[in-house]
């Protein structure tokens, strides 16, 4: 993997953005701002730099990043990564009752906080996802904003790990 990070450091900004723009849901600006900060000494450093780009951005950019995420369990067109991640947690096999309940919880959450419920679903079950959204609906807006951003960072890290695993084959 060390050889791969050295290869990535030598890529053009365009190639870097093509490969890593999708780490953050429809927000290639993060990869774009990070590309010029190479070389990275490790994958962890690369993710830290990308995370810092988000944390240092304006509130409106952070909010837009959160709003790019699809509702969990939604039956809409979404990125391939989101489809795979949600299917892995069983959200592609909700009963009609579960789907309706999740839809209502998502709507309530979005109305309350102004962005969709975001959860890195890897390792979660349908039940733990329902529990998480119910618990997080009890939080303050500021607390939930920070939690949602941290979930975005977890998702991006999982996507990077998947990307690395695919390239190692």
Average pLDDT for the chain: 89
The structure's pTM equals 0.88
Question: Which position among 6, 69, 124, 162 bears the catalytic label?
Answer: 69
Catalytic, 69? Answer yes
Taking alpha carbons only, the member of 47, 42, 44, 45 closest to residue 31 is: 47
| Confidence band for 81, pLDDT divided at 50, 70 and 90 | low
Write b or e for each residue in 115-142: b if 16 or more Cβ atoms lie within 10 A of its Cβ, otherwise e: bbbbbbbeebebeebbebbeebeeeeee
Confidence of residue 168 (pLDDT cuts 50, 70, 90): confident
Contact 66, 119 (CB under 8 A): no
């Amino acid at each position: 993997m060390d050889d791969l990070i050295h290869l990535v450091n030598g890529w053009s900004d365009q190639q870097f953005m093509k490969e890593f723009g999708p780490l953050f849901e429809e927000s290639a600006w993060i990869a774009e701002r990070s590309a010029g900060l190479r070389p990275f000494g490790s994958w962890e450093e690369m993710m830290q730099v990308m995370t810092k780009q988000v944390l240092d951005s304006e509130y409106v950019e952070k909010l837009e990043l959160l709003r790019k995420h699809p509702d969990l369990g939604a039956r809409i067109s979404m990125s391939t990564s989101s489809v795979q991640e949600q299917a892995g947690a069983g959200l592609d096999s909700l009963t009609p009752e579960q789907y309706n309940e999740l839809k209502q919880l998502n709507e309530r959450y979005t109305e309350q906080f102004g962005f969709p419920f975001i959860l890195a679903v890897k390792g979660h079950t349908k039940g733990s996802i329902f529990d998480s959204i119910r618990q997080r609906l009890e939080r303050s807006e500021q607390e939930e904003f920070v939690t949602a951003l941290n979930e975005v960072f977890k998702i991006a890290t999982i996507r990077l790990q998947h990307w690395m695993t695919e390239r190692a084959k």
